[in-house]
Amino acid sequence: MKRSLILLVALSFLILGGACFTPMLYNESMYKNHAFVEEVSSFLITKEGNKLIVIGKEHHYIFETNKHLNFILQWEERKRVIASFSNFNIKTDQSLLGSYHLRINIDESLTLEKKSLLIAKGFTENKVLKILEYHGKLQGERYLANKVKIPAIMQLNKKYSINMIEDTSLSTGLAKRILLTPVAVVADGIVLAGAPIILLVLMIVGIP
């Protein structure tokens, strides 16, 4: 009888203890990552066309780019392009990855020649929604802005708000130290440290 009572008490403890412990595990997973919103004020590209520099309020992000994206960003009618972004995930080594979606409405002002050009540059046609769309990923690294002030003429008329999600280890002291931005403003324009490259402005005042 005593043995049965001991087993019953032990079983009750496990059940009740588990009921208290499970929410703790759940809450811990809820706070696994830290999220914040980065306000992007400028998009810049190196003269060589291999790096895309995104200027945020607190950080600079340097991504690998490609000829198709470069064309879209420098297209003379880029005001047609509507952009949206996924969450960007930042790892402990300060690398980050995210995706973007570009779309252009197909209307009477979009000539067949322009439409064909965009398709040749990677856009696909969605006949149901009557749009051309382009999907891509951006992979790069994060840097501290270090109070670098980008001239107003090189800033976007419209700011983009992009969700950033940091790995939980970034707040535990295990993360790689964030380096200061290699972007600098000089008399002749903007340069990327380590390479004598003048940056081309992709988006300027009046162009969303």
Question: Is residue 50 included in any domain, yes or no?
Answer: yes
Residue with the two structure tokens 């703790």: 24
Sequential pLDDT tens for the chain (208 residues): 444 433 333 333 333 343 333 333 334 444 456 899 999 988 888 878 888 999 898 899 999 999 999 898 888 888 889 889 999 999 999 999 999 999 999 999 999 999 999 999 999 999 999 999 999 999 999 999 988 888 776 777 678 899 999 987 655 555 578 899 988 877 666 777 665 455 555 544 334 4
Query: H or E element: which one contains 188?
Result: none
Closest by CA to 150, choosing from 163, 140, 138, 159, is 159
What is the model's pLDDT at position 57?
Answer: 87
Note whether 184 and 148 are within 8 A (CB): yes
Q: Cβ–Cβ contacts within 10 Å for residue 134, how many?
A: 20
d(CA 61, CA 94): 10
Q: Is 123 helix (H, G, I), strand (E, B) or coil?
A: coil
Same domain, 46 and 17: no
Which residue range forms the structural domain that includes residue 6?
A: 1-31
d(CA 160, CA 41): 7
Question: Is residue 46 included in any domain, yes or no?
Answer: yes
Same domain, 8 and 111: no
What is the model's pLDDT at position 19?
Answer: 37
Q: Collect all residues with Cβ–Cβ distance below 8 Å to 201 and sequence separation of at least 6.
A: 42, 44, 153, 154
Same domain, 10 and 88: no
Q: How many domains does the chain have?
A: 2
- Report residue 54 as tokens: 């995104």
Environment class of 180 (CB within 10 Å of its CB; exposed 0-12, middle 13-18, buried 19+): middle
**pTM beyond 0.85:** no
What is the model's pLDDT at position 189?
Answer: 67
Question: Is residue 208 included in any domain, yes or no?
Answer: no
